[in-house]
Amino acid sequence: MSVLKRLGTVAGVAALAAVGVTAVPHDAKAWWRGGYGVGVWVPPVVVVPPPVYVAPPVVYAPPPPVVYAPPPVAYYPPPPRRVWIPPHWEGPYWVQGHWS
pLDDT on residue 46: 76
pLDDT on residue 1: 59
Do residues 66 and 79 touch, judged by C-beta distance below 8 A? no
Instruction: Supply the DSSP string of 25-75, one letter for each residue.
Output: ------GGGT-BTTTB--PPP---PPP---PPPP---PPPPP---PPPPP-
- How does pLDDT run across 45-100, given as a tens digit for each residue? 778 888 888 888 888 888 888 888 888 888 888 888 899 999 999 999 999 999 98
pLDDT on residue 2: 79
- How does pLDDT run across 8-59, given as a tens digit for each residue? 888 888 887 777 766 666 666 665 555 555 556 666 677 888 888 888 888 8
pLDDT on residue 41: 62
Q: Left if phi > 0, otherwise alpha if psi is -120 to 50, otherwise beta: which for 91?
A: left
Parse the chain into domains and list their residue ranges: 1-39
What pTM was estimated for this model as a whole?
Answer: 0.27
Do residues 100 and 83 touch, judged by C-beta distance below 8 A? yes
